[in-house]
């Protein structure tokens, strides 16, 4: 563990509004996060590299617990997971939402209590279910009718498993059509208007080894408005009322998923958690009172909202190419470590760090090193006009859905993850090496 000391000077809030709160600019052009200069992280660990502010992660966990004191908060592991992250979530009192046997086993073998874990997935494999039952996962979210019989058979006549049912409330919300999951006619969940949700619930009630504890929905990702969540509460409580009339069923839990949006560039909106919590509590209480129901315990599943703003990606510039009206700045990473711009057209605000430039800014497109025209890190962003090979670029809001979605494209190897806190930097995940890649290739 290395200690890197420097004076702390807070940079202008508007310039660094999407960076970790600990970000400081002790000298023009030199940024630090968690008391650690980003240029020193790049020198020590190489680039591309992800920097994760541990204090920011923990503070965001505490914010969720403070704003939702009566709710169960589950960290959505798909956003980013490693053993250190599992440990931090356990210490901060959060549960986990996992989507595979791999995520589940990593969490449990790190020491996370399996009863505080919920397993999701629209197409759970036999290994997913077997692992969940063997390790004693807290709840399994049923996503399709065929899963009911499979799960009941796996549990066995003398077994017991708590389950929830994922319902589709028919609400369109999210930052891009590919991440809107609350609408009808898509792969997730069971439709309320078509009656599929009610039919599945009736089947579950006929399986004595399955205990239905509540309903689950997830509207999508990168949602910055409170309104879709309020609409979802109304529709789901309406379903709960019908279930009470038909079966005398009172469900003690309501899981509204996550999808809480963050700002990726200065000036962009982020979901107001305080407003969300207040409006959800009021709407849930009012809707349940009108239906004569007991208010269920709320469950939420933030992933991006915890990890996203705590992460920074660092790249070195490899080439600068000026072609006609465009300037392309090519870096040593790209879609293999962050496919989101190619998938969703995500926009970032990279910044030159490690040196102070007095040059005027000019619009450039930061591109990756991969053999795809769509390998764009940040399109049409302002950077100093004297940007040159060897410069260091930092991309904020990079803690979620970057490394977790990384690929082996062009066999460049996935980047390392470095945690920073209290002027210390430590390696959490090492860089994927050529030896790692070769060891999986057993064809000769």
Are the CB atoms for 411 and 433 separated by under 8 Å?
A: no
The tokens of 24 are what? 């400081």
- By annotation, the residues acting in catalysis are 371
* Tally of CA atoms within 13 A in the half-sphere of 176 that contains its CB: 10
The angle formed by the CA atoms of residues 419, 107 and 95, to the nearest 5 degrees, is: 90
CA-based end-to-end distance of the chain = 40
The angle formed by the CA atoms of residues 158, 164 and 166, to the nearest 5 degrees, is: 140
Residues near 76 by beta carbon (within 8 Å), at least 6 away in sequence: 97, 258, 301, 302, 303, 304
């Amino acid at each position: 563990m290395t200690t890197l000391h420097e004076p702390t000077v807070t940079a202008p809030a508007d310039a660094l509004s999407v960076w970790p709160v600990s970000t400081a600019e002790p000298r023009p052009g030199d940024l630090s996060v968690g008391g650690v200069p980003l240029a020193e992280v790049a020198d020590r660990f190489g680039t591309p590299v992800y920097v994760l502010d541990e204090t920011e992660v923990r503070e965001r966990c505490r914010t969720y617990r403070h704003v939702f004191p009566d709710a169960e908060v589950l960290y959505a592991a798909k956003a980013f997971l490693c053993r250190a992250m599992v440990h931090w979530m356990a210490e901060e009192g959060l549960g986990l939402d996992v989507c595979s046997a791999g995520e589940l086993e990593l969490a449990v073998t790190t020491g996370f209590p399996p009863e505080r874990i919920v397993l999701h997935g629209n197409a759970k494999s036999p290994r997913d279910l077997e692992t969940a039952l063997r390790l004693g996962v807290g709840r399994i979210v049923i996503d399709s009718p065929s899963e009911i019989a499979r799960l009941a058979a796996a549990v066995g006549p003398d077994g017991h498993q708590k389950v929830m049912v994922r319902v589709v409330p028919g609400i369109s919300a999210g930052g891009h059509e590919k991440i809107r999951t609350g609408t009808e006619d898509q792969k997730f969940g069971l439709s309320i208007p078509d009656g599929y949700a009610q039919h599945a619930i009736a089947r579950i009630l006929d399986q004595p080894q399955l205990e239905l504890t509540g309903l689950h929905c997830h509207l999508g990702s990168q949602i910055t408005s409170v309104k879709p969540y309020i609409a979802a509460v109304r529709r789901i409580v309406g379903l709960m009322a019908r279930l009470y009339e038909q079966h005398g069923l009172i469900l003690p839990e309501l899981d509204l998923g996550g999808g809480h949006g963050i700002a990726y560039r200065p000036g962009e909106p982020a979901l107001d958690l305080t407003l969300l919590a207040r409006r959800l509590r009021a709407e849930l209480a009012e809707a349940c009172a009108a239906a004569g129901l007991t208010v269920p315990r709320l469950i939420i599943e933030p992933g991006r909202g915890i990890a996203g703003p705590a992460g920074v990606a660092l790249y070195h510039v490899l080439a600068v190419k000026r072609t006609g009206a465009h300037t392309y700045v090519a870096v040593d990473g790209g879609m293999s470590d962050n496919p989101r711009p190619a998938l969703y057209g995500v926009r970032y605000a990279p910044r030159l760090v490690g040196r102070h430039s007095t040059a005027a800014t000019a619009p450039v497109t930061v591109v990756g090193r991969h053999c795809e025209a769509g390998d764009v890190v940040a399109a049409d962003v302002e950077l100093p006009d004297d940007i040159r090979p060897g410069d260091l670029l930092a991309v904020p809001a990079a803690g979620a859905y970057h490394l977790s979605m990384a690929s082996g494209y062009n066999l460049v190897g996935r980047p390392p993850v470095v945690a920073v806190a209290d002027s210390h930097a430590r390696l959490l995940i090492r860089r994927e090496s050529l030896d790692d890649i070769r060891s999986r290739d057993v064809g000769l």
